[in-house]
Structure 1
Amino acid sequence: MADSDMHTLEQALAALLADVAPLSTERVSLAMAAGRVLAETLTAQLDTPPFDNSAMDGYALRAADAGRVLPVSQRIMAGDAAAPLAANSCARIFTGAPLPAGADSVVMQEQVESRDDGVYIPAPLAQGNSVRTRGREITCGETLIEAGTRLNSAALGFIAGQGIAEVAVTRRPRIALLSTGDELKMPGETLAPGQIYNSNRFMLSDLLPRFGAELTRVEHVADTSQATREALARAAAETDVVVTTGGVSVGEADHVRDALEQLGQLDLWRLSIRPGKPLALGRIGDTRFVGLAGNPVSAFVGAWLFLRPLLGALQGAAAMSELPRISARAAFDTTTAARSHYMRVALTFEGGEYHAHAFADQDSSILRSCVQADALAVIPANSSVSVGDIVSCLRLEA
């Protein structure tokens, strides 16, 4: 197949995501919701903060009473119920404590002078000084967080602040990860001549859960047609997505494509990109299939470009449909041929702009090029880039 007959990235993504719908939902405790995708839009149940409170340690008073010595009529700690403020007085107050009725401002403790008969409050003082007003962050009935949001630490804290203990989330996609290749051995085993260690298994076993997946089957498949077909059938029967590495090229020992066509359907094969030209997309019944190349860099790049958006779609997370794109100034020279190149780059921020530093050896077998990579610099086919040119980069953010 000539390069001109291969599929573009856009065509591959369209084939991969065709008819994909979010999986079923389940309710989980907030403690178990980190990284999950919210399946319902949450509405605020109360004002936050729920009452006017002090932004710092100091003294609460009426702003109009500033400029004179005021006796301290009460002491209010966070969690206390404040009494109304006595006329012509101030209240000792601490950060987060409720503002007493009648007070409209707070002066930080470093700005007052202690006197025998109270404290001197300097003037002028504006109403609302150092006061966090009720509902400043959000008011009851407002949208708290939209459905489809992937819950990070801040989102969890925001939800917890509303007293919400459980949320509805999309079920994690169940994934089978199958490694093909008789040359592969597990770390710790002894290598025979011609054998290598299985790096893809460990790399993808970390990436896929970061994309929200639940790895339910991880196994090595022998390089035979029967073993490949049986492994794919088992995996497809119990998962939402089957991912393979290796076996999708055209060699005599590459059995994945044939097995897929026997069990289901092949939607797309081979891409006009570098790395990652060997790629098989299809389905076995209702189970999606993604066959990545065996070269570790191709598998790494393919996981970010295809598995991340697929898993995002299955979880209803629209933000995962494409990697965040930024512009950066190239710190490298390169020329592409008939295929687009997704170069592994490290990003620095200098002089108010990003700079993309490419790893010297961009061969698809050099996994070292991915270790420090922050992004993939997208270099279109049949183009040249010189130092100082602006390039489009896809940030590698799970």
Structure 2
Amino acid sequence: MKPLLPLDEAQQRLITMAERLRSETVPVGEALGRYLAEDLIAKRSQPAADMSAMDGYAIAFEDRAGPWQLVGECKAGSPPCPPIQPGQAARIFTGALLPDGADTVVMQENVKTDGATIKLIEEPSPVKGRHVRHASGDFKVGDIALKAGTHLNAAALGHAVIAGAGNLSVGRSPKIAVLSTGDELVAPGADTQPHQIPASNDVMITAMLDRLPARSRSISRIKDDMESLCAALESARDCDIIVTIGGASVGDHDLVAPAFKQLGGKTDFWKIAMKPGKPLMAGTLGDSLVVALPGNPGSAFVTATLFLIPLIRYLAGAAHYMPTMQSAITNTLLPATNQRAEFLRAKADGSGITAFNSQDSAKLSILAAANALLYRPAHSPEQEKGAKVSYIEI
């Protein structure tokens, strides 16, 4: 009997099969969720000049004894106000450029004024450079503002704009077809007979993809016959990734592998040393990558998390595409594992992480209640309550 492929080897083989997609240039306002294709070099310094971090009065530190004669007002968005001389101060507002001759800002709460002069009313006396945002204090022109592969979330987009970018070079979004197979499947919301089940997997997997830079379409409720399955696979050949759900095992009605082979597909690997998700298959069909997920919803979700999502991130240009492992203290005893790595649906909170008693991969209620997949490597010894374990947030 051929040994099962270790999880980490299978993940690496899938990535090795892939090639990052070409980049494209998009307006910064349309780049949310994408991955930067090349280093973003700052076109400007931030701040561009010394400016006030506070509403108050601009003075020269060497002249800190006061009192000071008021000689001007500096507003944000205005050119610098005239230089100040010894014994002088300028009213200044947050974000305004510091006038020449000034190097310190005194908070307005710490002075009193008669409209013509100001003097300190509170100690400590001003500290040189206090309440000043110095030129290039954040970054300077020519710095790498964002590295290639950065995920462009809201903060990253703001940083790109402040660095002078109006357009960004990003990885293209992969085109993905999600094919859900099974004679038992009916449309969501439809009445079901005992031998039928609503088609939940394609809705679930497509929803997972909606959080990624991906363009997906669903081809749902494909019948368990070779003609229907081959036609569906053929219709998806324009996609970068073809995802099938169900029919990937070895039963008489599990036709994904035979249909794949009949169309000239090439299998890279099949059957992984993991639980749930053992029947996962991956290969190529022409220019398309094919990932065949198991049909049980728990298995489909776990394998999509560990294989499909990293693959999409990689194609789209992510620097870090594999799931991030976190650590927590287990609140329950964890049995030893065998040759298969295990991912237990669990709940993580401030007290630690608790695996659910039932891990039946057909139970969506457990998956819906979980916020974590507790990772148990293959051949792990029993873990007592209070031991540190790893998990993936979901």
In the TM superposition, what whole-angstrom CA distance separates every residue of 1:319-346 from its partner, at most 9, and x where no partner exists?
11x2112222111123234422111222
Query: What residue is the counterpart of 2:353 in the other structure?
Result: 356
Query: Is residue 135 from structure 1 mapped to residue 132 from structure 2 by the alignment?
Result: no
2:109 match? 110
Deviation string 1:63-109 (CA, Å, 9 cap, x unpaired) is 12223222221112211112233322111111111111111011111
User: In structure 1, what is the equivalent of residue 248 of structure 2?
Assistant: 248
In the alignment, the residues of structure 2 paired with residue 84 and residue 377 of structure 1 have an alpha-carbon distance, to the nearest angstrom, of 63
Which moved further from structure 2: 273-282 or 327-336?
A: 327-336
CA distance in 1, matches of 2:340, 2:162: 50
- Give distance in 1, aligned partners of 2:57 and 2:350: 44
State the partner residue of 1:101: 100
Task: Provide, for residues 179-234 of structure 1, a one-character-per-residue CA deviation record: whole Å limited to 9, x for no partner.
Answer: 00111112221112211111111111111132321104433311101111111121
* C-alpha separation in 2, matches of 1:259 and 1:45: 53
Q: Which residue is 1:339 aligned to?
A: 340
Q: Secondary structure at the match of 1:72?
A: strand
Q: Does the residue aligned with 2:141 lie in a helix, a strand or coil? A: coil
Determine if the alignment matches structure 1 residue 373 to structure 2 residue 349.
no
**TM-score w.r.t. structure 2 length?**
0.94
Kept in 1, the 8 Å contact 2:51–2:95? The answer is yes
Secondary structure of the residue that 1:299 maps to in structure 2? helix
Aligned: 1:386 with 2:384: yes
Report the counterpart of residue 21 of structure 1 in structure 2. Answer: 19
| Pairs aligned (count) | 388
Structure 1 residues 100, 231: CA separation in 2 closer, same or farther (over 3 Å shift)? same
- Alpha-carbon deviation of 1:26? 1.0
Q: Which residue of 1 aligns with 2:83?
A: 85
Identity %: 38
| 1:58 paired residue number | 56
Q: Which amino acid in the other structure matches residue 332 of structure 1?
A: T
Residue in structure 1 matched with residue 259 of structure 2 by the alignment: 259
The answer as to whether partners of 1:60 and 1:91 remain within 8 angstroms in 2 is: yes
Stretches of structure 2 lacking an aligned partner (at least 5 in a row): none
* Equivalent-residue separation in structure 1 for 2:15 and 2:166 (angstroms): 33
Q: Distance in 2 between matches of 1:334 and 1:290?
A: 31
Conserved? CA contact 2:38–2:148, under 8 Å: yes
Q: What's the TM-score once normalised by structure 1's chain length?
A: 0.93
- Report deviation, 1:372: 4.2
3-state DSSP of counterpart to 2:205: helix
**How far has the Cα of 1:117 moved from its partner?**
4.1
Contact 1:21 1:316 in 2 (8 A): no
Map residues 69-80 of structure 1 onto 2, 5 A cutoff. Answer: 69-80=67-78
Give CA deviations for 1:359-388 in whole Å, capped at 9, x if unaligned: 232111122223343332211334322211
